[in-house]
Amino acid sequence: MAHPVRRKLADKILIQFLEADVDIGFGLVDEAKAYRASGQTEFSARALQEAEQILVGIERQLHDLSDADSVPFLLLLVELRREIEAVEREG
């Protein structure tokens, strides 16, 4: 069993990585919108694929956290998924 202090530090680091991934996911959606607006549909589609991959990775990593630590990410993931789907519908 991991030492409690090490486990807490590991969770804190994982949370920081997940926060960065959420930011990257939303950034990719923004890029996809910009590419689509400029007529670069191939780049737009690629940015959306990467955003979806980020989303799946976040969901997978949330299982390593306690419920209390993972709950704040759930609404962000719902919003990220909505943003991705909205850009896909526009295309």
pLDDT per residue over 60-82, tens digit each?
Answer: 999 888 889 999 999 999 999 99
Asked whether residue 84 carries a pLDDT value surpassing 90, the answer given is yes
As a whole number of angstroms, the distance between CA 56 and CA 91 comes to: 22
Entry pTM: 0.89
As a whole number of angstroms, the distance between CA 83 and CA 40 comes to: 19
pLDDT per residue over 12-62, tens digit each?
Answer: 999 999 999 999 999 999 999 999 999 999 999 999 999 999 999 999 999
* Local structure of 36: helix, strand or coil: helix
Residue type present at position 30: D
As a whole number of angstroms, the distance between CA 69 and CA 21 comes to: 15
